[in-house]
Amino acid sequence: MPKTDDRRAIWLLIGLLFVMPFPLGANRPAIWWLFEMAFMLLAAWIPLRRVELMRRVTASGDAFRWLLPACILWLVLQLVLGLCAPGFDLNPNALVEAELLALTGFCVLFVSFMLFRSSDDIRYFAWMLIVLGGAQALIGLLTYNDLSLGIWGGRPDYFFAAKGTYPNYNHFAGLLEMCLPFGVVTLVRQFVDGRLFISFRGLASIAAVLLMLGALVMSGSRAGVMAFFVASALVAPLLVRAYRQRHAARAGGRRWLVLGGAVVLLSLVVALFQGDLLYRLATRGSNSIRPALWGDMIVAFHQHPWLGNEAGVFADIAPMYKSWLLSMLDFRYAHNDYLSWLIENGLPMTLLLLLIVGYPVWRLVRYLWRGGQPLARWLYGVAALWALLGLGIHGGLDFNFHIPANAALFMAILGIGMSLSHTWRKAPRRRRIAPADA
């Protein structure tokens, strides 16, 4: 499998993804605009600098051939249908913002797909996530006890919450859901190599995983914690299958399977018996608000199921459909990304977006289930699938995909999953015809 050798682009992408969560999750419009421009310029620069790489990618098979036109079709339809949607007059700027967010996400997806072609490159990305998750977890623990001196904002009045540099603890949990799997598989890899307790990388991975697990639990995010452990349960069959294959080959599979199971089980026990989270699970809290909001907003989808109400206008149309129960509350998002896409873009566009994301995930599952890959690549594939499933589940209860930092990181991980499950196909060679016998 060819290697890009373009370290500049790799480090630039890694640096952008690392820095994004720190200015309040890149949730400020002015700061996010700068990141959008940087990602778009990077996406345009790579084909110009790497003509041979682009040629190989376009000839590499079906994954790129139909996904790229599908993404372009999504952008065109979002613009055309948005101009025809009934909600366009409510907020003309919303369509432009939604179009730029989608364009940036697709740029990150294909840049990651083209760049991360080897285990060494993905290792740099994994360590970026470990450092990012550990730093955010440390800041989150400071915000939990309000020791950040107000630098990252105070805690909510009604309970303690670790939220790192994010305004919302649920989005902080979403970031940790994507960082933790790469920390766990790095820890497992160090354990298999026998360097877990005798090397700096091994000790650093242990510290980062423990910090992230503690911060995830202390975030108080019910959806975030449960999404992480549900994703862990979904990935478990892959681990069992790999254990059987590697144990039969006497490759030491029992050690890292037991270690992974112990980490997941221990963190689940801690999560269930941590005071704030257990209290939030045992009480109603906002449990009755979200279903009520979804029940009200589904009417907006029924009004315009095919064209949608126009991208980005959920906050503008929500007051039109809220019942008296929620009339005093202000909602900018649906707290369910899938419902939000249905309301804003309509059913066909939502299905197209789910196909764009779902097909690479399905290819990644097939790649991991087939087995037989080198251990490093297989572990990184498990981490990518683990992270994608975690945030995908969490997206059904919150709006992580509307947070630029988390959305960009999700698309980068999806691109890595594509690169792992997709093999380059060389251009067909002409068959040499042997000369006829004299």
User: Could you read off the pLDDT of 42-51 as tens digits, one per residue?
Assistant: 888 877 666 6
pLDDT band, very low/low/confident/very high, at 32 (cuts 50, 70, 90): confident
Instruction: State how far the Cα of 329 lies from the Cα of 289, in Å rounded to an integer.
Output: 10
Phi-psi region for residue 336, left (φ > 0), alpha (ψ -120 to 50) or beta? beta
Residue 105 is predicted with a pLDDT of: 94
> How many other CB atoms sit within 10 Å of the CB of residue 101?
19
Residue 10 is predicted with a pLDDT of: 92
Q: What is the mean pLDDT of residues 381-405?
A: 94
Residue 251 is predicted with a pLDDT of: 47
Find the helix packing angle between 119-144 and 200-218, rounded to 10°. 50
Residue 288 is predicted with a pLDDT of: 59
Whether the CB-CB separation of 1 and 53 falls below 8 Å is answered with: no
Q: What is the mean pLDDT of residues 386-392?
A: 96
Q: 337: burial class by Cβ within 10 Å (0-12, 13-18, 19+)? A: buried
Q: What is the mean pLDDT of residues 219-235?
A: 87
Residue 91 is predicted with a pLDDT of: 77
Q: What is the mean pLDDT of residues 251-259?
A: 56
pLDDT of 60 > 60? The answer is no
Q: What confidence tens digit (pLDDT) does each residue in 136-175 have? A: 999 988 877 655 444 444 444 434 678 889 988 999 999 9
Q: Where are the domains of the chain?
A: 7-286+330-421
pTM value is 0.88
- 424: closest CA among 114, 44, 47? 114
pLDDT of 126 > 70? The answer is yes
Residue 3 is predicted with a pLDDT of: 46
Q: What percent of the chain has pLDDT over 70?
A: 75
pLDDT of 283 > 60? The answer is no
pLDDT band, very low/low/confident/very high, at 108 (cuts 50, 70, 90): very high
Q: What is the mean pLDDT of residues 304-310?
A: 88
